Homo-oligomer: A and B are copies of this chain.
Amino acid sequence: MTRLLINQGYFVTMDESQLQFRGWMAVEEGKIVGLGEGEAPQSELAQATETMDGRGLLFMPGLVNTHGHAAMSLLRGLADDLALQDWLQNHMWPTEAKYTGDDVYWGSALAAAEMIKSGTTTFVDMYDHMHRVAEVVEQSGMRASLTRGVIGLCPEDVQKAKLADAIQFAKDWHGAADGRISVMISPHAPYTCPPDYIEKFVEAAHDLDLPMHTHMSETIAEVEQNVRDYGYRPVEHLDRLGMFSRPTLVAHAVHLNDEEIALLAERNVAVSHNPVSNLKLASGVARVPELLKAGVTVSLGTDSAASNNNLDLFQEITMAALLHKGVSGDPTVIPAVEALRMGTTYGARSIGLQGVTGQLKEGLKADFIALSLAQPHFVPHTDYVSHLAYAARGSDVAHVWVDGKQLLRDGKLLTLDEEKILAEAERCFRRLRG
Interface residue ranges, A against B (CB under 8 Å): 73-78, 80-84, 87, 110-111, 113-114, 117, 276, 278-285, 305, 308-312, 315, 318-319, 321-323, 325-332, 335-336, 374, 376-377, 379-384, 386-387, 390-391, 393-396, 418-419, 421-422, 425-426, 428-430
Contact = CB atoms under 8 A, between A and B. Distances in A.
A390 B279 contact: no
A222 to B, nearest CB: 14
A340 to B, nearest CB: 12
B77 A310 contact: no
A282 to B, nearest CB: 4
Nearest to A114: B376
Nearest to A424: B379
**How many copies of this protein are present in the complex?**
2
B426 A80 contact: no
Contact of A285 (B77, B318, B327, B332): B327
B379 A82 contact: no
A302 to B, nearest CB: 11
B326 A391 contact: no
Nearest to A82: B331
Given A77-B386, A80-B390, A81-B331, 17 more contacts: A73-B376, A73-B379, A77-B380, A77-B384, A81-B335, A81-B336, A113-B376, A280-B326, A282-B328, A282-B330, A305-B377, A305-B391, A309-B390, A323-B323, A374-B419, A380-B425, A380-B428
Name the residue in A87, A276, A430 with the highest tally of chain B Cβ atoms < 10 Å from its Cβ: A276
